[in-house]
Structure 1
């Protein structure tokens, strides 16, 4: 009898081991990351990749998603439309990823959306952008103009007595969209835009633009360039030209600001994420990033932190419906939430998310001092016609 019981126990253990082995042997969940490893976004891409790697490492250490390991598929979208089409085609139809989580330029996003529609793959867009980009498969956890512009403009009007503004941007959907919204907001508040200039996204010589700013003599300058290289070239050339007027940058992130050195000092910005956010969740995130990457760490920022939390939003959605089936996961993304470094984030407002925004000013060491916080700012009616 004892021998039988012993054999039974051994058989049960063997059966459980087989079940466990089967679960771990299941195909991994592939999540695609399309990002500008080359081109305009190459300045910020390394931080985005790092935050993606940390999220996947943490999720896998905690058992993965639905008991399955998560694997990253990282591809270069070259920061533009042609590169994005190739990148998304590779991820959707060759790599057959379960979802795409991507920080991209607006040009790249717009070019990728038809492929997302065709492949019916869940797509979390993690970049701040000009707003009102809608697709049945896409959700957004970055800020839009309705959340980001007011803190900078209102501060200049009230604290800097600014009445006239000059707007500068890159000549594509983000630059045009952001500054169109900004101009309307300035005029609604009683200010006046006395100049607007745009440079192609791959342009780097701002000499003629700076000359026009100098001639116009505005009270304040606001820019909306592609994140990364254009921010750096514009800021350095403004500093080199001796421009000292109040400068609000609607596209700067903390990581890029730190790479600029003295060129960014004094610049104003509005952000949903800054490393100085004083919460346990943010301190835990920054500590984990520092531990994992050490001296190779790229400054966590407005473009990389939303990338990190998007993996947890996807995990929450998949586990809510008990599946990675896109048809089930896509609607569940609106119900998924994550309490992370920025606070609790849920993409439940026209497939966008309410966010707490921080008005900040870049300091001499590249850090950002938070001047004021605006809690739970609504993104407005971004995609009212999508369920």
Structure 2
């Protein structure tokens, strides 16, 4: 397989051991690699990067440590905003100091995707003997921290489907596009996916802000749209197929249980300022008022916010017992980190509808005690989940990003799509919709016919990951 390779070399006065000690310090003056943030240099450890993309501009990215040879070399796997490898060589100089060599490589398929996302290259079509299946997800922007595990889970599902004979006698080929956590970018990416010859369906794991902009495209072109994350979305057309948790599913039993634990009654609603967090706020207010509690305040901020001081100050000033925190991706990580640093975590309990294993990894100890209710957590105790996690680890290695609830939801949606197509007798929309009415795919989640959730898991963040503490029913239909 071909690859794009970028190399750079610089001579520095510090010796290799001094430079290695700087890795993960988070000091941006030390360049994009040594300005990274990391807790350790152990294989699989998360690395957060601020990547230069222009004069004075930086984009947030993530990587994993593959290996580290003391005082000589660090190898990373890039996860976002693109997939690739970084090799950092630290060569001591006889005259003192270090020759630092950095080699960045991106394979040809990822390079083609990046070029297509930027409008510079054609994204390519599937071969005539393949069934193209699109995946629109966030590989960059605020929600980019969930992107790589989402692509991994979709790819794993496709490979398992193909190993089982494919769909309608043909292999499935995954076509990936990035919405960059931006609705406008999502529209361009969706049009490109829908323009792939013979595209059978598009799976979407992105914000409902993007969904509002892209779902009309799928309907207009007659392409099934499998929307997988937790959201407020109510399908308005048979081709718009929803798999994720709804606000009341997550809140109607969990918030009363949290109030029973704390004995508190005052709630603050905080989140990003678009339709899904606002819907979470509306549902939370309904549940809180029904159980006799009080909403002490609300605070919503734009996606990409980096300073949450005004919201956190308001929470502290209102004598709040609980926070319903509906932030997304990097915003979620920043808010919860600042909230924990403020000292409020010890007196105020948080319910966060997007808190899962991937977010907890980014937060570390500052996540401890946060609750959420989702269809999936890594720690769910079932034979199906243990087998799924083994297959994921075997396929992508011990240094792969942990499975998130969002990523596992895509895995099940892709399998559900294939099962329905087989049941319906083809990959056209009518066959898919017919198969969804009668077929069931049994994965780690508690799902019924057509992928509908039968129950949710109540989880609590701990330093070791999310601990499953109960199983809750979904909300009864209105």
- Answer yes or no: is the 8 Å Cα contact 1:37–1:78 preserved in 2: yes
Q: In 2, Cα distance between the equivalents of 1:118 and 1:237?
A: 43
Instruction: Note the C-alpha offset of 1:144.
Output: 0.5
**Counterpart position of 1:356:** 455
Q: In 2, Cα distance between the equivalents of 1:104 and 1:39?
A: 11
**Counterpart position of 1:107:** 209
- Answer yes or no: is the 8 Å Cα contact 1:146–1:380 preserved in 2: no
Whether 2:400 is the aligned partner of 1:307: answer no
Higher relative contact order (CA 8 A, sep 6+): 1
Match of 1:266 among 349, 369, 393: 369
1:57-82 alpha-carbon deviations (Å, 9 max, x no partner): 11111111122100000011111210
Q: In 2, Cα distance between the equivalents of 1:137 and 1:115?
A: 11
Instruction: Note the C-alpha offset of 1:136.
Output: 2.7
Deviates more, 1:291-300 or 1:49-58: 291-300
Instruction: Note the C-alpha offset of 1:354.
Output: 3.1
Instruction: Note the C-alpha offset of 1:306.
Output: 1.0
Match of 1:234 among 326, 329, 335: 335
**Larger fraction in strand:** 2
Whether 2:319 is the aligned partner of 1:217: answer yes
Instruction: Note the C-alpha offset of 1:301.
Output: 2.0
Q: Aligned residue pairs: how many? A: 350
Q: In 1, Cα distance between the equivalents of 2:282 and 2:292?
A: 16
- Answer yes or no: is the 8 Å Cα contact 1:26–1:68 preserved in 2: no
Whether 2:401 is the aligned partner of 1:290: answer no
Q: In 2, Cα distance between the equivalents of 1:158 and 1:129?
A: 26
Whether 2:154 is the aligned partner of 1:154: answer no
Match of 2:136 among 34, 53, 56: 34
Q: In 2, Cα distance between the equivalents of 1:344 and 1:193?
A: 33
Cα distance, 1:152–1:378 mapped onto 2, change above 3 Å:
closer
**Counterpart position of 1:374:** 472
SS of the aligned residue for 1:247 comes to: strand
RMSD: 1.6
Whether 2:291 is the aligned partner of 1:189: answer yes
**Counterpart position of 2:241:** 139
1:188-245 alpha-carbon deviations (Å, 9 max, x no partner): 111110100100112121001111111101111111112x111101000001111121
**Counterpart position of 1:62:** 164
TM-score by length of 2: 0.71
Unaligned ranges ≥5, structure 2: 1-126
Instruction: Note the C-alpha offset of 1:331.
Output: 4.2
**Counterpart position of 1:205:** 307
1:95-132 alpha-carbon deviations (Å, 9 max, x no partner): 54111112110111111011011111111111111242
SS of the aligned residue for 1:374 comes to: strand
- Answer yes or no: is the 8 Å Cα contact 1:131–1:145 preserved in 2: no
